[in-house]
Amino acid sequence: MDYHHWNPVYEAILSDFGYPRAGDERARDRLAALLAGASTLDPESIDLAGRTVAVAGGGPSLYDDIDLAVEADAVVAASTAADRLLATGVEVDCVVTDLDKHSETVVRLTNGGTPVAIHAHGDNLGLVESTVPECDAAAVLPTTQAAPADGVANFGGFTDGDRAAFLADHLGGATLVFPGWSFDDPSVSAQKRRKLDWAERLLYWLERRRGERFDVLDGRRGGIDTSALPVE
């Protein structure tokens, strides 16, 4: 995803949530500073090209959908989906996270060599500051939703789950499948619901860019607000 394609959608997200761009940029710069001088993960070392990739979400359906993850060639887990998959004995190839709720897992996984895309944004600076120094930088792929800078990358996406899908796309994943995605989950907060609405829009954008149809969107496309998405 070129940043100039991402930026108009990012602007719409900033405006919808009232996030200041400067907060995201400050967090990005702090993440870069914490990793300065270290050799961070080359994303191309994550072997997804040409493979069926399970992009695992943190919804309650993850256990019911576990076969999708087991049968995929590779698993990219969003946030706490990683903890749940690992607890069930399912290996993950990469974790995509803003550190919320599972920073200890991230420290442990990077120190064991599992790639983790650590995302800095305006509302997780404290977690970035406390967690990143404990990680093995060689397994850390630093990301931002603002403009990429100083080794901090932007592959597109907003929530951990849709960022995982954009990363899998960037790395050449041939087919994406989506265990653990529950857009209609009644247990989520109002704020989380609004984030999931964006995740849905962004997956819709991604499937159109790829010329693919993601199963997870079947029966939902007619209800998706596409007004903030570019016409492809």
Ligand X SMILES: Nc1ncnc2c1ncn2[C@@H]1O[C@H](COP(=O)(O)OP(=O)(O)OP(=O)(O)O)[C@@H](O)[C@H]1O
Determine if 28 is a binding residue for ligand PH2 (CB under 6 A).
no
| Closest separation in Å from C-beta 118 to ligand X | 12
**Partner touching 115 among ligand PH2, ligand X, none, CB below 5 to 8 Å by kind:** none
Rounded Cα–Cα distance for residues 217 and 112 (Å): 35
Stretch that binds ligand PH2, among 28-36, 59-67, 118-126, 134-142 (CB under 6 A): 118-126
Are 139 and 114 within 8 A, CB to CB?
yes
Answer yes or no: are the C-beta atoms of 179 and 66 closer than 8 Å: yes
Q: In angstroms, how far is CA 190 from the centroid of its own chain?
A: 20
Site string for ligand PH2, 2-21 (x = CB under 6 A): -----------------x--
Residue 37 Cβ, how far from ligand X at the closest point, in Å? Answer: 28
Residue number with CB closer to ligand X (162 or 207): 162
Binding of residue 23 to ligand PH2 (CB under 6 A):
yes
Please state the three-class secondary structure of the chain as a single string: CCHHHHHHHHHHHHHHHCCCHHHHHHHHHHHHHHCCCCCCCCHHHCCCCCCEEEEECCCHHHCCCHHHHHHCCEEEEECCHHHHHHHCCCCCCEEEECCCCCHHHHHHHHHCCCCEEEEECCCCHHHHHHHHHHCCHHHEEEEECCCCECCEECCCCCCHHHHHHHHHHHCCCCEEECCCCCCCCCCCCHHHHHHHHHHHHHHHHHHHHHCCCCHHHCCCHHHCCCCCCCCC
User: Binders of ligand PH2 among 143-172, rule CB under 6 A?
Assistant: 145, 158-159
Does residue 142 bind ligand PH2 (CB under 6 A)? no
Residues 162, 176: Cα–Cα separation, whole Å: 11
Give me the residues that bind ligand X (CB under 6 A), please: 57-59, 78-81, 98, 100-101, 159-162, 181-182, 185, 188, 195-196, 199
Question: Interface with ligand PH2 includes 200 (CB under 6 A)?
Answer: no
- When binding is defined by CB under 6 A, the residue of 25, 98, 162, 169 that contacts ligand PH2 is 98
Q: Which does 156 bind (CB under 5 to 8 A by kind): ligand X, ligand PH2, none?
A: none
Minimum CB distance to ligand PH2, residue 123 (Å):
4
The site partner of 121 among ligand PH2, ligand X, none (C-beta below 5 to 8 Å per kind) is: ligand PH2
Nearest approach, Cβ of 202 to ligand X (angstroms)?
9
122 part of the interface to ligand PH2, by CB under 6 A:
yes
List residues binding ligand PH2 (CB under 6 A). 19, 23-24, 98, 121-123, 145, 158-159, 195
